[in-house]
Amino acid sequence: MTRRLSYAVPLEWEGAAVKDFAKKRLGFSAHVLAQQKRAEGGILLNGVPVFTTALLKAGDMLSFCLPLPEGTYPPERLPFSVLFETEDFLVVHKPAGMPVHPSPGHDRDSLLNGAAYYYQAKGALCPLLCPLYRLDRDTSGAIALGKHTLAVSGTALEKTYFALCQGTLSGRGTIDVPIGLEEGSKIKRQCGSGQRAVTHWEALESGGGHTLLAVRLETGRTHQIRAHFSYMGYPLAGDDLYGGSHALIGRQALHCGVLHMKSVALDMDRTFAAGFPPDMKEAFPWLPEVGGIIKSEKGRCKCQPA
């Protein structure tokens, strides 16, 4: 399977080399461009194969051929909902309790196994899907899967997470504290040493001794939100690994509720909202609808990186 992308060269790019147009205008990575150079018919200019040093003229038609390798994960019927699909992406709402990738002990119950069944059930070949980011097994919400290398490397993402912390917080803030693996643990993270980690948050509503937070990540460290709020003395409800209580919910109350995706090369500029799952709504019946939290058509909440 392949996916051919074609672009008309605008006037302002006349005289530019193919490689510069691909990288600077379309967002191709060096890896994706090298992939095109190696493929037969990978780069065509007005239907003729060219090198990446070829110069463009306004009105030229430039096209690239992306391979779509077939997926190999065993299909399993699993509960998740599809939010959106194109030739380039599959965006889904992942439930809590489902890992994204197969792993020891979870070789047939991952999201990628469920996606394989989704394609099998509609009689289609399953592409080799690659998540554009990861969600912990017990974190719910929106996640995007790319069908080829350009979808993965050439897409800008903005994610807003919603977290329920124990305790009452107000206002907004930034946590800029490094995170590293806790000594003696293979899983748990500790704050104060390791890699830089920056978390921006805003308190949205409070109820029953808990606060709903909108959270944006400037960095993407493992367990960053969970570790940072535990460090601040406000662990997430249900997150017993970081000091949270199971009194109301049996897993960390963390949900990726808003996802904005933008790719010039793939004509993508959309926002997706994933509503709170039943366990969070049951534990915290005062939660608003996710759609009511979104502050603009781009899915940006008030919480913004400084």
**Closest Cα partner for 189 from 211, 215, 217, 220?**
220
Within a domain: 73: no
Residues 6+ apart with CB under 8 A from 50: 18, 43, 44
In a domain, 302, yes or no: no
One domain for residues 110 and 238: no
**Calpha distance 220→196 (Å, rounded):** 10
Q: Which helix (H) or strand (E) holds 198?
A: strand 198-207
Structural domain span for residue 287: 156-293
| Total tally of structural domains belonging to the chain | 3
Q: Are residues 128 and 19 in the same domain?
A: no
Which of 153, 182, 212 corresponds to the end of one domain? 153
User: Among 67, 91, 119, where does a domain finish?
Assistant: 67
- Domain membership flag for residue 205: yes
Q: pTM here?
A: 0.90
Residues 37 and 11 in one domain: yes
Residue 254 placed within a domain: yes
What is the residue type of 186? K
How does pLDDT run along the chain (306 residues), one tens digit per residue? Answer: 889 999 999 999 999 999 999 999 999 999 999 988 888 889 999 999 999 999 999 999 999 999 888 988 999 999 999 999 999 999 999 999 999 998 888 889 999 999 999 999 999 999 999 999 999 999 999 999 999 999 999 999 999 999 999 999 999 999 999 999 999 999 999 999 999 999 999 999 999 999 999 999 999 999 999 999 999 999 999 999 999 999 999 999 999 999 999 999 999 999 999 999 999 999 999 999 998 887 533 334 455 443
**What 3 state SS string does 162-192 have?**
EEEEECCCCCEEEEECCEEECCCCCCCEEEC
Does 58 share its domain with 180?
no
Of 20, 109, 136, 176, catalytic? 136
Residue 136 annotated among the catalytic residues of the structure: yes
In contact, 269 and 290? CB cutoff 8 Å: no
What are phi and psi for residue 272, nearest 5 degrees? -125, 140
Please tell me whether residues 178 and 127 are part of one structural domain. Answer: no
**Which residues face 131 on adjacent strands?**
145
31 and 126 in a single domain? The answer is: no
Same domain, 171 and 102: no
Taking alpha carbons only, the member of 165, 298, 297 closest to residue 233 is: 165
Answer yes or no: do 198 and 269 share one domain: yes
Shared domain check, 184 and 132: no
